[in-house]
Structure 1
Amino acid sequence: MNAPGPAVNFLVNVFVTDEDAREARESMQQNQLLMQSLDAEIARAEAALKELVSQRSEAQRLLESNSAPSETETRAIREIIVSKETTMEKLQWDISEAQAFLDSLIQSRAQAAETSDLALDNFDADIESARSVLRGLLTERDETHQTLEAHRALLSPIRRIPPEVLGEIFIHCLPKDTYIAPSVAQCPLLLTQISSNWRSVALATPALWTSIAVNLTIKSCLPNIRLIETWLARSGSRPLSFQITESIQKDYYEPGMVTSAAILELYAPHYNRWQHVRLEYLDWRIDTAIASLPCDAPPPSLASLHLSRDFWRPIEHSQLSLLLSAPRLRDCTWISNTDLGTFRAPIPQLAKLFLERPLLAEDFMHILSEGVNLAACQFFVLASSGSNLAPPTIPFVLRHNLRSLDLTADLFGRLFNQLELPNLTEISVRRFDIVPHPAPVWPHPEFMSLLSRSKCALEVISLSDMDITPEQMSDCLRHTSASLEKLILTNDRRMRHTIVDDGVLRLLTWAQPETELGNICPRLCMVKFWDCHSSSDGVLADMVESRWNVRDGGPAKNLNVAFFMLDASHPEDLRRLEKKIGLSILRR
């Protein structure tokens, strides 16, 4: 007996006609075809859902990385962006409609409350329902906007930048400081927290890890020594810049405390990579590990050296001599009571030399005559101690190409008389007072003679604790009018010298149209008057406002940085100036 076939068997009512049976069979066949069609639709829907889930997973992966999407992924992302933009437009419309409906309900309730005694519960329920709908739409809009921006970010050009170029961009993100204090809130450590890709690029870019500032106190070593070692290891073979500042006295040393010597010993094996070095010590009795540095040759890459210590021990002199004789050294700062001349400093090759140790006038002139390449210098000169300011080997007037001169001295006249500085753009003069002077210290004729002789275009004038008079100050301003950009005048409170009065301020006030005497200092963009100012209330504000926000026909540069010290006798100045951004006022 044959097995039954796949055909569907059903009982036939003997009382059903052949036509009815035929229609029943056709109906069953149509139902089968419909079921097959539905199964096919379900299969296609499941495949589409699977594709959407795959795309969502891929998009999520891209969102969590900084990789560039492929062409296929880019097309899919653009479709998502278009879809989300359409959704945003619809949501904005729905939100506007919902807000309008809510406003109308609130208005209707207010009218009903005024015109009838009917219960307002229905209004309150409708209003709460409308608010709920509006909140839901706003939440959906915010989520859609967040998703839209995230997908737009996937197409950002930075994702397509090669790692080498991205590394160069990272280098330009570093702080401008020569010595970087490590912080998770700034580069380079910040770059390692963005994504795995950025972290890999940052760790593979040695130039990001070549500079560090280390600060040692009784309580801590910042950063800790393990981070210093990691920093150094990541620097590869690049030139190194490091600063070690130790503010500890030997009497407070404890066992196990991290010392500056331990830090310097980490850098000693990389001696040939030293480029910028700053070493500052509080106590000369502490071992610095300087004596353990190589003693056969100077560091070949050393370009700048800053050394600060009361005294250097004889055991350290040979290594210090090597540091100072580095062939590429151009920038030297020496803050010590040990004479720099002990080490035969390479003054002829230096471009910058800052000395805090007092010099005799003769030594000052000798250094300038030897330092033919000096562009900036800072000196402390005791001119009153010199017996012979102009030795036979130095011409009476020394012509030099200095651009910046920072001078602390007890007497200035004889120094100014021996200089001619045609390239000078910045001058800072600071008075050193051992004993009171019966006569004014400010050598106005000598200073004006220096300016006239040099024919220099001064851009910065800074005078500290100088007894220059307002009339002499006005004379300086007129002489330097064409080039002056920054004017800094400060006094110790004990001095009580008035340098800026009504006359100086009115001279600096920009007038439109010009007065008969004309306007001066069109390039002035920064001023500081500290304990040297005495004027009528309102005159200072007139000067500042005339230069702060200027229009056509005004000075070449806006005054946008200012520091003043004012008391309660200047209510109008305080009222008019206190809200200007870039202006600081200290109230006495």
Structure 2
Amino acid sequence: MAATLSSVHAVVLEHRERNKKSSRADIERFIQESELKLASLESQISALIELRDRERTCVATLKDLIAPIHTLPVELLPEIFEVAIRAESHVEDALQISQVCSGWRQVSHSTPRLWTGKMWINLREDTHGDREQVYVDELKAWLLRSVPLTIPITLVLDSESINNRILDEVMRTAPRWRSLTLKMESEAPAPSFVSRLAESKLNNLEELGLLRFDKDVDRAALLSFTTAPRLRKLEILSNFLPMSMPWSRLTGLTFTSSTLTVLDILAQCPNLIQAVVRAAGWNVLPQARRDILTLSHLRTLDLRFRDGQHFVPLSDCLSAPALEELYLDFWNRETDRLFWTSAHFTAFQLRAANITQLGFEDSLLTVDDLKIAIHHAPSLTHLTLDNCGACFDDAFANALCYKPDTTPLAPNLHHFVLFRFDFGDNFTEDTLARMIVSRWWTDTELASRLVPPAVARWTHVELNGNRYLGEELADMLKDLPSDVLILL
């Protein structure tokens, strides 16, 4: 800056000295000549700037051509894009990738699987306001990019009104629905939607979710599901349980029902592999059924009881020889202990002898109850206890503790989760830590042993108490790696 000011000052002095005796006419002529030279120079500068910018663009283009991304086969780009698109934000991620450049847009738009994430579509009238046309156009473009693949759809609707323009775009894709979830914001869907659904060919529908479906809904719509040839998974979170369903073809079922009808429903589903049942227990113990319902393919059973005092009749009447995962949630904690009978549960376990994963939530089972349950699950590898303070104490921790020359409880256990627990007089940090440490060895320690331990080594231990787990416990467990031990 100083050199520039100095140069300007010198030019000023030079012209003052040279032209101090010139006439006004001569000075005006000199001004005109200088302005012409200035215009000529500015023209040359503009041309040079344009040439410079052109060369900069050329350099950037050439560098882009040799960038590592361009050395990859174009077939790999969709694989990279797919990894970059997260399930929880797939709409935003897919759109961002398609807007990076024209090349990426062409590749992404011609890769249908990038556009097959779950769509949450609101069919209610006046939901989108002034953006309705934009929303319809964007939705149509998105759905077209997924052709010819199947897609998952979630529809939000009510009985009052429905946006027919959006409905038209959605229903065109019905033959490609892989999963359909109907989220009701009233007791029944709009009649126009029901009629369109009843006319649809659901040739690729594999999973169906009916949330808050009212018993008065037109059964024509439900009948359309019975003819869906590939429907295998059904979720009904409603007190209304439609009977017109392809029960015999289902492999996955989640439903809410009175306990009196649970067995009737399960009896129609001989091919079930996974079941989640939300049911009310019996307030009065019903007369026992003599027949046993056998679900030969059932591998996962999740039973959640919300009311009542008895659940025993359900397990008394059920046989699941292939069952591997069993989860019991007793929401009514005031009564479940009074009516838990180990003998009944043991009888059920003898008909389900292959359980490897067992979980209890909100239960008041005693330590002895839990020991008996685990004893009759000899292949147990996973145990989850959530808010089960009455059955986990120092005595139970000692039973799990591995000691040489003894066989502890659950020798195959390697995945242990303990949620919502409190240390107290019957449960101490020291005992819990000793139990966990007793079942852990480094690779070097295991390799040095002539005889391997009689128990499995931990692969996952997760502790999440009702209060902060202190540094003392963490210090006692410091030798367990962070990918095995999780303290929350």
Matched residue SS, 2:190: coil
| One-letter code aligned to 2:298 | L
Aligned residue among 252, 255, 274 for 1:352: 252
Matched residue SS, 1:402: coil
Aligned residues: 415
| Cα pair 2:181 2:209 within 8 Å, conserved | yes
Give distance in 1, aligned partners of 2:225 and 2:295.
30
Structure 2 counterpart of 1:454: 352
Give distance in 1, aligned partners of 2:96 and 2:327.
38
Structure 2 counterpart of 1:9: none
Deviation of the 1:167 alpha carbon: 3.2
Give distance in 2, aligned partners of 1:325 and 1:300.
9
TM-score by length of 2: 0.72
Q: 1:162-241 alignment to 2 at 5 Å?
A: 162-163=74-75, 166-167=77-78, 170-171=81-82, 174-175=85-86, 177=87, 181-184=89-92, 186=93, 188-214=94-120, 225-241=136-152
| Cα pair 2:256 2:279 within 8 Å, conserved | no
Structure 2 counterpart of 1:161: 73
Matched residue SS, 2:107: helix
Deviation of the 1:173 alpha carbon: 5.1
Matched residue SS, 1:461: strand
| Cα pair 1:397 1:418 within 8 Å, conserved | yes
Q: Cα RMSD between the aligned structures?
A: 3.9
Deviation readout 1:198-247 (Å, 9 max, x if unpaired): 2211111122212333275999769955433321122223222112356x
Structure 1 counterpart of 2:8: none
Matched residue SS, 1:283: coil
Give distance in 1, aligned partners of 2:195 and 2:139.
20
With over 3 angstroms needed to count, the CA separation of the structure-2 counterparts of 1:229 and 1:581, relative to structure 1, is: farther
Structure 2 counterpart of 1:488: 384
With over 3 angstroms needed to count, the CA separation of the structure-2 counterparts of 1:466 and 1:302, relative to structure 1, is: same
Deviation readout 1:545-575 (Å, 9 max, x if unpaired): 4446644146545343413215479773365
| Cα pair 2:90 2:117 within 8 Å, conserved | no
Structure 2 gap segments, 5+ residues each: 1-52, 447-451
Deviation of the 1:54 alpha carbon: 12
| Cα pair 2:353 2:377 within 8 Å, conserved | no
Give distance in 2, aligned partners of 1:192 and 1:542.
54
Deviation of the 1:337 alpha carbon: 2.3
Matched residue SS, 1:340: coil
% same residue: 20
Give distance in 1, aligned partners of 2:215 and 2:64.
55
Give distance in 1, aligned partners of 2:482 and 2:469.
23
Give distance in 1, aligned partners of 2:344 and 2:474.
37
Deviation readout 1:131-161 (Å, 9 max, x if unpaired): xxxxxxxxxxxxxxxxxxxx6x43x6x7341
Structure 1 counterpart of 2:472: 572
- Residues 1:333 and 2:235 aligned together: yes
Deviation of the 1:166 alpha carbon: 3.8
Give distance in 1, aligned partners of 2:156 and 2:482.
34
| Cα pair 2:330 2:336 within 8 Å, conserved | no
With over 3 angstroms needed to count, the CA separation of the structure-2 counterparts of 1:218 and 1:546, relative to structure 1, is: farther
| Cα pair 1:229 1:266 within 8 Å, conserved | yes
Deviation of the 1:57 alpha carbon: 7.1
Aligned residue among 314, 320, 324 for 1:421: 320
Structure 2 counterpart of 1:42: none
Give distance in 1, aligned partners of 2:486 and 2:195.
48
Comparing 284-293 with 206-215, which one deviates more in the overlay?
284-293
Deviation of the 1:351 alpha carbon: 0.4
| Cα pair 1:477 1:521 within 8 Å, conserved | no
Give distance in 2, aligned partners of 1:536 and 1:219.
59
With over 3 angstroms needed to count, the CA separation of the structure-2 counterparts of 1:220 and 1:549, relative to structure 1, is: farther
Matched residue SS, 2:180: strand
Give distance in 2, aligned partners of 1:482 and 1:308.
37
Structure 1 gap segments, 5+ residues each: 1-52, 66-150, 254-258
| One-letter code aligned to 2:97 | L
- Residues 1:412 and 2:290 aligned together: no
| One-letter code aligned to 2:139 | I
- Residues 1:475 and 2:475 aligned together: no
- Residues 1:503 and 2:395 aligned together: yes
- Residues 1:431 and 2:330 aligned together: yes
Deviation of the 1:289 alpha carbon: 4.8
Structure 1 counterpart of 2:460: 560
| Cα pair 2:180 2:208 within 8 Å, conserved | yes
Deviation readout 1:29-84 (Å, 9 max, x if unpaired): xxxxxxxxxxxxxxxxxxxxxxxx9999766324335xxxxxxxxxxxxxxxxxxx
| Cα pair 1:181 1:213 within 8 Å, conserved | no
Deviation of the 1:413 alpha carbon: 1.9
Give distance in 1, aligned partners of 2:140 and 2:364.
52
With over 3 angstroms needed to count, the CA separation of the structure-2 counterparts of 1:568 and 1:331, relative to structure 1, is: closer
| Cα pair 1:210 1:238 within 8 Å, conserved | yes
Aligned residue among 270, 274, 279 for 1:381: 279
Which of the pair has more CA radius of gyration? Answer: 1
Matched residue SS, 1:337: coil
With over 3 angstroms needed to count, the CA separation of the structure-2 counterparts of 1:537 and 1:359, relative to structure 1, is: closer
Deviation readout 1:339-377 (Å, 9 max, x if unpaired): 322xx11100000011023341xx322322221111011
